[in-house]
Amino acid sequence: MEACRIFRLAMNDVTYTYGLSAGAGLGLSLKCFQWMPTVEAENSSKLNLRQRFNFVADVVEDVASAVVYIEVKSMRFFNIMPPNGSGFIVRKDGLILTNAHVVMNRTNSVVQIKLQDGRTFSGIVEDIDLKSDLATIRINAQNLPVMKLGSSSDVRPGEWVVAIGSPLSLSNSITCGVISSTRRQSSEIGITNKEMEYLQTDASITFGNSGGPLVNLDGEAIGINCMKIAGGISFAIPIDYAKSFLKRSEQRIVRHNSQIVKLKYAGVTVFSLTPGMLDEMRFGEYHMPEEITSGLLIGKVVSGSPAHISGLKTGDVVTHINSNVVQDVNSIYKALESGKPLNMRIIRNGIFQEIIIIPEDI
């Protein structure tokens, strides 16, 4: 290496010695150039590293064309930002899977679907399952790219995953992370009416990501992104639940000749209050009265929805619906099924208030 250093210094000199010295110098230079990596070799090495470690980019390239942006536009409230979300194509004849809360909107609304290639279609909500928070949309198109459905039963904690969706209307945004838990019970996150084990991930999921796929490194959807509780704590519905829903939906449509029973819509996302949450609320800004032992926390109110029109706000706590004590989220589902107005007793900043919501058909 000392000889190589001397050679580089000598090459900087403007005077060269010819003859035997030059021959020796030539031999030395050849040996030094053998020691130093070429530019081509360095570039090749970098390329190999990219090919080996850019696995997320490879997954996105394979599956992004099957992910869609969903927007629900009201024909009555033109000055309100429309609810939006994501979904992915599961049949090449135009069947799209998403979350129920993405498309549960009021009457006089239009569902618009935007594909990755820029094409837009009007969508028809074909089926909804409120308890699993899953829905299907149909668009009039053929030969569409389809997302492969994997299996959530063999997913392992620590496995790399990619979340694709449209947060804040930014289509085909990508986040990645790992599976934190494969069997997070619904009761652990305040959802007591569902017998479901969610996939927990630290991949960022926010409004607009809902309904998009959670994909493994084989390019298979293993979950449907559905909610975020805090930074680094997000959840997806396991794809095995979605497969069962798709099968039941197909059978239901055939059996009822595509006539789906009308469901009612309020326009809220709610969480059942756990004992731990209630304890924190009694000493925090909520000023929760001691006598309250159950209820629903309003997590989101959709702009222009019946809940929004009634004056319900994020952070409100619902204690009674139609004079019945609220035990969990099943209470609001039963009230919606009745088709009657929802007379709610709520707590806001420690003060009881009465609010009436007039649900609409989905």
pLDDT tens per residue, range 24-65? 444 444 444 444 555 555 565 555 777 777 888 999 999 999
Same domain as 298, residue 215? no
- Whether the model clears a pTM of 0.85, i.e. scores above it, the answer is no
In a domain, 281, yes or no: yes
Of residues 336 and 160, which shows the higher confidence score?
A: 160
So what's the pLDDT on residue 75? 54
Q: How far is CA 240 from the centre of its chain?
A: 17
Among 83-92, 234-243, 330-339, where is mean pLDDT lowest? Answer: 330-339
In a domain, 214, yes or no: yes
In a domain, 354, yes or no: yes
* Residues 344-357, mean pLDDT to the nearest whole number: 92
In a domain, 172, yes or no: yes
Same domain as 235, residue 194? yes
Residue 81: pLDDT band (50, 70, 90) is low
What would you measure as the largest C-alpha separation in the chain, in angstroms?
A: 108
* Residues 148-157, mean pLDDT to the nearest whole number: 94
User: How many domains, the chain?
Assistant: 3
Domain extent, residue 173, equals 151-239
Residue whose C-alpha is closest to residue 326's, from 287, 267, 271: 271
Question: To 5 degrees, how large is the angle CA 209–CA 62–CA 99?
Answer: 25
Same domain as 274, residue 187? no
In a domain, 92, yes or no: no
Same domain as 162, residue 231? yes
CA distance 261 to 252: 10
Q: Give me the active site residues, please.
A: 101, 133, 210
In a domain, 192, yes or no: yes
> Residue 345 sits in a domain of what CATH number?
2.30.42.10
* Residues 142-164, mean pLDDT to the nearest whole number: 95
Same domain as 272, residue 193? no
Same domain as 353, residue 296? yes
Among 109-113, 349-353, 355-359, where is mean pLDDT lowest? Answer: 109-113
In a domain, 10, yes or no: yes
So what's the pLDDT on residue 92? 94
Query: Is 60 exceeded by the pLDDT of residue 159?
Result: yes
So what's the pLDDT on residue 309? 92
So what's the pLDDT on residue 212? 94
Same domain as 356, residue 277? yes
Using CA atoms of 240, 243, 244, 248 in order, give the dihedral in degrees to the nearest 10: 170
- For the chain, the average pLDDT equals 80
Residue whose C-alpha is closest to residue 152's, from 245, 242, 62: 242
- CB burial readout 270-291, b (16+ within 10 A) else e: bbbbbeebbeebeeeebebeee
For the chain, percent of residues with pLDDT exceeding 70: 75
In contact, 48 and 61? CB cutoff 8 Å:
no
Same domain as 279, residue 215? no
In a domain, 163, yes or no: yes
So what's the pLDDT on residue 8? 45
Same domain as 349, residue 271? yes
Same domain as 302, residue 235? no
Residue 139: pLDDT band (50, 70, 90) is very high
Same domain as 328, residue 283? yes
Counting every residue written for the chain, the total comes to: 362
pLDDT tens per residue, range 299-337? 888 888 899 999 999 889 999 999 999 988 778 888 887
Same domain as 356, residue 272? yes
> Residue 184 sits in a domain of what CATH number?
2.40.10.10
Query: Is 80 exceeded by the pLDDT of residue 219?
Result: yes
So what's the pLDDT on residue 236? 93
